[in-house]
Structure 1
């Protein structure tokens, strides 16, 4: 299937699920978060789509007061097509349905994105930090993140804008 056929298949199956966004690159589709779990199931199980491989989930902070995003890179081994799904989140309450029960590898990807951006994957069976200590404060890859001065009595180095690390 071509990218446009993939986009059309989603639109036809789930009215109102695809967000019109002319700023997206070819191969990217923005989906309303309330439709995501059903769309994800469709992408994997529909024989014409058969996106059997979740290659990556990553978070994006669009900056300022813009949304946080989850990006899902999907690949069909059978049909040899790819797509990138984008979900926008309110930066003050970022959450979306977990897809770990659809693609098992999503478990690790969702935990990492949660740990770095604070995006909550609702329904995830074990959503907890995976890289930072459990009691770490904040979300290190968010643009509004402010580094702690210390962690358990150990000074945390800060980056000086012009000179690099302290």
Structure 2
């Protein structure tokens, strides 16, 4: 399980940070951007690898989903998220991150349907597998789950800021 987690992290970060560097294109204003087709292909490859690697975990998750009151849990989670976001906005001024700018750039120049699939389906699934299953799930027997959660949060925030 740990080898699978480490390999998923390697694939995820190399496809996110290293591979795109070889496919930079220069825009009219002189800024460098990752070629959109390469970005989409890399995201899909990462997603396919992550889903294939953790297919048993995903299957168990769907089986458990039927047994839970997931609509209630989603509603509670959404309300808590909205309240926390509003409180955070009062304390810390919200700024647009590079990650958000890249997503908005892709949305404005690529097929809206394709980008919705990537940003609303593919990316969340991959990120759940990378940040939750490959960190917390793989090492929960050896380390405190709270420490693993903090590590997962740290890397998630670092990657998205």
TM-score range, shorter chain: under 0.3
Higher strand residue share: 1
TM-score (norm 2): 0.25
